[in-house]
Amino acid sequence: MSLKKQAASGFLWSFVQQFSMLGINFVVSVFMARLLIPAEFGLMGMIYVFFTIGNVLLDAGLTQSLIRTPDADDEDYSSIFYFNILLGCTLYFVLFLVAPAIASFYSQPLLTDLTRVYSLIFILGSFTTVQNAIFVKEMKFKKLLLISLPASILGGLFGIFCAYNGYGVWSLVFSTISTTTLNALLLWFFSSWRPKWIFNKQKFKRHFNFGYKLTLTNLIDAIFGNIYQVVLGRFYSPKIVGLYSRSDSMKNMAVTSIANTLTKVSFPLLANIQEDKERMAVIYRKILQTVIFITAPVLIMLAVLAKPIFVFLFTEKWIEAVPYFQIICIGGILRPINSYNINLFSIIGRSEVILKLELIEKPILMVLVALALPFGILPILTMQVVYAIICFFINVSYSKNVIKYTHTEQIVDVGSVVLIAFFTAGIVYWLQNILVSNSISNIVQICVGAICFTFIYLALAYLLKIKGLAHIFEIVKR
């Protein structure tokens, strides 16, 4: 199969997988939000940072190293496999021991038991990282779909069952653990690879030397990327953390799933041609144009329709989350672009540059949050927008030296799409005010607003010959 056909096939199945998962997670989250209260989501939001850090350490950058290594064999895979199991067990026992300290920091005693039970996901996940890396490396996204889909459905149903029967915040814990368990069992069932009794120190060292810089980078990103949950959990109530967490997860369902679809395909694809810088630059620019063409309008449309969406899906008890969600959506527009500009250095094996960028950018985030802290939660969230813009200019200053994709070119590609999306949002906002004044139901507001937004946006993109639309047509044809 040619590289183009392989990429198109990989994109198709990865797209189906991501959006199937998106649909399942969305439905499950709607039921959970209706059955639980914001404070219960807030409790999970308080400990989310610790599990994000744990997942970064569990991967240790070794998965990406396996994917980008063309001659990886059983010695590579087995060495990483045994290391991951040791690491998963270590993470579990560390969190088991520090759970009381976490509960004390937030003044929430229940967090001790929640942390200790939820930590089981590290042991379960440590058995699957290599199998998952092999499927991604071989671009077998159809098999990943057959694995993740039933695991998520059954795990989600179990969580809903628990919530319906009054288990409260534990429903979220049980849902995740059951999904992780089923996913692990299915990965082993569908994968033909089995670990050998081998541990090659030299090969492990090669992967570790690549991965540890990436791990430090991701670790910094995990800590500071979740700074909002930590700050809000320390200075505000669990309800506020729950409102923020629900808003952030809604944004992630909309944009991260789309970006992850392209990332799964683009990483092994670009890794295969990393020596051909000119070809890599062409493909890379197409990916960025496609990502921003899809993600920017989705986020802006969700922001303008936020109120009817939250009331219809989650009921009036979540309406306070609307302004949080709107700011988070605007701040999320540049996040996929920033991630791609950083991941470029992972593809070419320059993980030290990624670490350097994190050490430059994350102190800026701390300063911005500290400046906004005395003024309340909305100014704190607004700093996400400011931070994303600052990071964009810093990241491109480095990435342009690799693929010759300058600030001006990226601003034109991103700006043209964002301007069209905001113009469309203005029309939909005007239309929405008319619908509200006529007491039209929330579902009608959502449907009419979404249809109008999509039609106007695509029409303008077609008339103005936006390249992202052409790339999508090209993918569909293949």
**Each residue's pLDDT tens digit, 74-100:** 777 888 888 888 888 999 999 999 999
pLDDT, averaged across the chain: 81
Burial degree of 278 (CB within 10 A; 0-12, 13-18, 19+): exposed
Cα angle 176, 241, 217; round to 5: 70
Stated pTM of the model: 0.70
Mean pLDDT across the stretch 423-449? 83
Q: Is the pLDDT of residue 348 over 70?
A: no
Sorting pLDDT into bands at 50, 70 and 90, what band is 9?
low
Picking from 133, 132, 68, the residue whose alpha carbon sits closest to that of residue 343 is 68
Determine the pLDDT at residue 101.
92
The predicted pLDDT at position 264 comes to 58
> Would the pLDDT of 2 be above 60?
no
Take residue 16 and report the two structure tokens written for it: 């189906």
pLDDT of 93-124, one tens digit each? 999 999 999 999 888 889 999 999 999 988 98
Residue scoring higher pLDDT (424 or 60): 424
Give tens-digit pLDDT for 126-142.
888 888 777 777 767 77
Q: Please report which confidence band the pLDDT of residue 395 belongs to, taking 50, 70 and 90 as the band edges.
A: confident
pLDDT of 116 reads 93
Confidence of residue 260 (pLDDT cuts 50, 70, 90): low
Q: How far apart are CA 81 and CA 62, in angstroms?
A: 10
- 3 state DSSP class of 478: coil
Residue 314 confidence (pLDDT):
85
Domain boundaries, the chain: 1-229, 273-478
Confidence at residue 265, expressed as pLDDT on a 0 to 100 scale: 58
222-226, 266-270, 383-387, range with the lowest pLDDT:
266-270
